């Protein structure tokens, strides 16, 4: 019954001679939340950017549902409509209010009428708990609020899958919770998500599968329990131990 | 001759000339704005050959005196069969010249808005040109205002060169007053005052524009960006 939404086969990305990652195979099934973890510089972000065609892989294929999006004749603007992306630095349109940020894709890409687009946009802002901030400009919102608007903006396009590229890494500690809460809710609602994060609490609680990426290849993947309590690979154990220590005791006792 | 009397005597003439000067400034600015924006976009986002053309244009018009450009258009073009009136020649020279400078202002602010906003636009499925139109330009055109404000003011004063092809602008009127009164100091000082007043008003208008277009929450752009 598990239907693959995203299928990555044998994907390799190089900058010149240096491979950012190589021969990545990854499948994301409908409704799954997959969390990618790993040290910085191992190609996690680049992998997400490849999936969204913001950069191009050198080898391998990616399918969204049954469509090969790495194919030459593929219309990348169409593909991106179906893939929501949330960035580390929010990347809201600073000259537009929260509402207009969410509406822009609806009116200019989906060509919805203004009132229908507004209704849809308000619905999405409501989903992230920011309906009362609709008239605020990004510069008037906190980081956490900005990131939630960015999530609403991506959700408004009714994507098949949501990509999160370290969505809480640029946030003050006390603002991280509200963003994770929204993501947790999305996962429960059955949204298909591919998340790069260092938030181990979120990974352990929400992920259906955790993928440990290091030096450009997948070292190990499995359920949170498998990875956290019975890692097969020594590197996985070391990394998780390090990062859990770094992020403190709150991760324990579960 | 008493300076004030000279001023009073020639004031109607000066006002007429000032009108011409303002027209020249406005037309030059508009031509320069449209062409400058096209050049900046071509240089920032165009294919290689278009970039090369834009760069060539900008370097050519910034690298040669406006007066040379004006004379080439007014005296030079007739020899290849294009004869333009004095006014049209003046409009064209000022506009083409201003475009090169405005293009560089625009390019600077487009770069400052940066590729990350392009990424954000593309990520929700906007095409490249739609992202430029709906995301990059609205921000770049706001950001550019403080620096760009130099251009209308500089252009207003630069228009003075057109009296050399006998366009009846403020400078031409000053020359006439000087000849009529044998008082060059009084005459040129008088028009200097008129220029100063125009620049002052223009400056005030530009400051107003800057305040009006600021993005809420980004009042201190430089600190937040």
pLDDT value of residue A248: 56
Query: Percentage of residues in chain B with pLDDT exceeding 90?
Result: 83
As a dihedral over the C-alpha atoms of residue B215, residue B216, residue B219, residue B225, rounded to 10 degrees, the angle is -70
From residue B221, give the alpha-carbon distance in Å to each of B112, B215, B218: 11, 9, 5
- Alpha-carbon gap, residue B73 to B90, rounded angstroms: 9
Q: Which residues of B touch A56 (CB under 8 A)?
A: none
Which residue, chain included where needed, has tokens 């487009």?
A: B110
Asked if B139 and A141 come within 8 Å (Cβ–Cβ), the reply is: no
pLDDT value of residue B51: 96
The chain A residue lying nearest B218, using CA atoms, is: A139
Residue among B117, B119, B142 minimizing CB distance to A54 = B119
pLDDT, tens digit (0-9, with 9 covering 90-100), for A232-253: 999 999 898 888 776 655 444 4
Q: Which residues of B touch A141 (CB under 8 A)?
A: 217
Distance of CA A22 to the CA centre of its chain: 20
Residue among A54, A109, A139 minimizing CB distance to B218 = A139
Q: Average pLDDT of each block of 10 consecutive residues along chain A (254 residues)?
A: 88 89 94 93 91 92 93 90 95 96 96 96 96 95 96 96 95 93 95 94 93 92 92 90 69 44
From residue A149, give the alpha-carbon distance in Å to each of A106, A117, A144, B86: 14, 15, 9, 56
- pLDDT category, B198, cuts 50, 70, 90? very high
Contacts with A8 (C-beta within 8 Å, 6 or more apart), sequence order: A24, A25, A26, A27, A47, A51, A60, A61, A62
> Within 10 Å of residue A3's Cβ, how many Cβ atoms?
9
ipTM of this predicted complex?
0.89
pLDDT, tens digit (0-9, with 9 covering 90-100), for B139-187: 999 999 999 999 999 999 999 999 999 899 999 999 999 999 998 998 9
The enclosing H or E element of B191 equals helix B184-212
pLDDT value of residue B4: 82
- Alpha-carbon gap, residue A92 to A138, rounded angstroms: 7
CB pairs under 8 A between A and B: 72
pLDDT value of residue A1: 56
Interstrand relation of A217-222 and A209-214 (parallel, antiparallel or unpaired)? antiparallel
Averaged pLDDT, B65-75 = 96
pLDDT value of residue A247: 64
Token pair of B50, please? 């278009």
Asked if A95 and B142 come within 8 Å (Cβ–Cβ), the reply is: yes
Residue among B120, B125, B138 minimizing CB distance to A77 = B125
């Amino acid at each position: 019954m598990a239907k693959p939404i995203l299928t990555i086969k044998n994907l390799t990305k190089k900058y010149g001679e240096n491979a950012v990652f190589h021969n990545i195979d990854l499948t994301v099934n409908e409704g799954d939340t997959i969390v990618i973890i790993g040290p910085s510089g191992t190609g996690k972000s680049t992998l997400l950017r490849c999936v969204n065609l913001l950069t191009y892989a050198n080898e391998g294929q990616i399918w969204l549902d049954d469509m090969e999006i790495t194919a030459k004749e593929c219309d990348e603007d169409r593909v991106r409509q179906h893939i929501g992306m949330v960035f580390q630095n929010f990347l809201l349109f600073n000259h537009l209010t929260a509402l207009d940020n969410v509406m822009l894709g609806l009116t200019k890409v989906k060509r919805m009428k203004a009132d229908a687009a507004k209704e849809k946009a308000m619905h999405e802002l409501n989903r992230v708990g920011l309906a009362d901030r609709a008239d605020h400009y990004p510069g008037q919102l906190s980081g956490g609020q900005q990131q939630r608007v960015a999530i609403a903006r991506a959700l408004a396009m009714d994507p098949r899958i949501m990509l999160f590229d370290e969505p809480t890494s640029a946030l003050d500690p006390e603002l991280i919770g509200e963003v994770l809460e929204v993501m947790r809710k999305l996962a429960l609602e059955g949204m298909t998500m591919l998340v790069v994060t260092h938030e181990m609490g979120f990974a352990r609680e929400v992920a259906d599968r955790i993928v440990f990426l290091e030096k450009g290849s997948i070292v190990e993947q499995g359920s949170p329990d498998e990875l956290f309590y019975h890692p097969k690979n020594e590197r996985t154990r070391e990394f998780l131990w390090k990062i859990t220590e770094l992020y403190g005791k709150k991760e324990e006792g579960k | 001759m008493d300076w004030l009397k000279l001023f009073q005597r020639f004031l109607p003439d000066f006002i007429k000339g000032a009108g011409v000067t303002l027209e020249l400034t406005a037309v030059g600015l508009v031509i320069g704005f449209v062409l400058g924006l096209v050049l900046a976009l071509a240089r920032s986002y165009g294919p290689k050959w278009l970039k090369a053309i834009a760069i060539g244009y900008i370097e050519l018009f910034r690298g040669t005196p406006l007066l040379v450009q004006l004379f080439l258009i007014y005296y030079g073009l007739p020899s290849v069969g294009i004869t333009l009136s004095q006014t049209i020649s003046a409009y064209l020279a000022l506009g083409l010249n201003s475009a090169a400078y405005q293009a560089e202002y625009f390019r600077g602010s487009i770069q400052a808005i940066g590729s990350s906003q392009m990424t954000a636009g593309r990520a929700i499925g906007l095409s490249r040109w739609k992202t430029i139109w709906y995301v990059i330009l609205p921000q770049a055109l706001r950001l550019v205002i403080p620096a760009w404000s130099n251009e209308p003011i500089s252009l207003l004063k630069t228009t003075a060169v057109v009296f050399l092809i006998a366009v009846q602008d403020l400078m031409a009127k000053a020359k006439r007053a000087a000849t009529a009164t044998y008082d060059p100091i009084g005459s040129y000082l008088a028009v200097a005052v008129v220029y100063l007043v125009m620049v002052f008003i223009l400056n005030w208008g530009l400051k107003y524009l800057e305040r009006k277009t600021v993005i809420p929450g980004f009042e201190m752009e430089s600190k937040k960006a």
